[in-house]
Amino acid sequence: MRCCTNKLDSLLRSILLTGLWLCASAAAAEGISISKAEARLTDGGYQLSANFDIQLSPTVEMALKRGVTLYFVSELTINRSRWYWLDTDVARDEQTAKLSYNALTQQYRITRGSLFQSFHELKDALLVLGHQIAPPVPLELLDKNGGGYFSRLLKKGSECCSAFAQMRLDVSQLPKPLQVNALTNEDWNLKSEPYRWIIKPEAGETVSQP
């Protein structure tokens, strides 16, 4: 009898540990993370871009399929370093993209302003949604007084500027009944960690891969 009891206890422990491992794996897969960040020197100035890996939780995906529109806000910023004072933002680009689902056509839609794209698969929509590009920042904006100081440093590869990238799900734009639940439910806490890197161009560009 004791042998059977020990085997049963061992089996239950195994099932419990397996369940906990699966839950932990699923939790780790959910959220937003950055996979690549880039600052490229173009004819129009410096252009920031970032690729975010977006994984919706089952709760958020279910809400999406039931007609709830999701608002994702991305931020790409260039900071100018100052040895005598705090760093200052040179240019800050914040974009909002809407992700929705049409049950009639069974398609996902990404809307940015007046432009939109439709997708049959959620994974394809999230892949496009995760690619964010900011307008080029003229080199003149990186100068302290327009004298070309920071522009010359950048062209020489000096570490005078840094960049910042982040993306989050904006729960404040959810329907009112969902907002209270979203604020207290971790399933809705979709936000990437702040990511910063130094703009130190080599051969005209810098790429950072976390």
Determine, yes or no, domain membership for 138: yes
- Nearest Cα to Cα of residue 129 among 64, 186, 175, 206: 64
Determine, yes or no, domain membership for 17: no
DSSP state, residue 118: E
Determine, yes or no, domain membership for 75: yes
Mean pLDDT score of the chain, rounded to an integer? 77
Determine, yes or no, domain membership for 187: yes
Determine, yes or no, domain membership for 14: no
Determine, yes or no, domain membership for 125: yes
- The confidence score (pLDDT) of residue 168 equals 96
pLDDT tier for residue 25 given thresholds of 50, 70 and 90: very low
Determine, yes or no, domain membership for 105: yes
Separation CA 42–CA 185 (nearest Å): 43
Measured CA distances, 178 to 172, 182, 184 (Å):
9, 6, 10
- Own/partner pairs, 182-191, CB within 8 angstroms, 24+ separation: 185/59, 187/30, 187/57, 187/58, 187/59, 187/60, 188/57, 188/59, 188/60, 189/31, 190/30, 190/31, 190/32, 190/54, 190/56, 190/57, 190/60, 191/31, 191/32, 191/166, 191/167
Enclosing H/E stretch for 206: strand 205-208
Residue 24, pLDDT > 50, answer: no
Note down the domain range covering 195. Answer: 31-208
Judged by average pLDDT, the poorest of 91-95, 145-149, 151-155, 199-203 is 145-149
- The confidence score (pLDDT) of residue 160 equals 62
Determine, yes or no, domain membership for 2: no
User: Computed from CA positions of residues 148, 151, 156, 160, in that sequence, does the dihedral angle turn out positive or negative?
Assistant: positive
- The confidence score (pLDDT) of residue 19 equals 39
Residue range 50-99, pLDDT digits in tens: 999 999 999 999 999 999 999 999 999 987 765 444 456 678 899 999 99
Q: Give me the residue label for tokens 């394809």.
A: 124
- Nearest Cα to Cα of residue 47 among 125, 134, 131: 134
pLDDT tier for residue 151 given thresholds of 50, 70 and 90: low
* Structural domains in the chain (count): 1
Residue range 102-145, pLDDT digits in tens: 999 999 999 998 899 999 999 999 999 999 999 887 766 665 44
Three-state secondary structure of 131-196: EEECCCECHHHHCCCCCCHHHHHHHHCCCCEEEEEEEEECHHHCCHHHHHHHHHCHHHCCECCCEE
DSSP string covering 33-80 = EEEEEEEEEETTEEEEEEEEEEE--HHHHHHHHTT--EEEEEEEEEEE
- The confidence score (pLDDT) of residue 111 equals 96
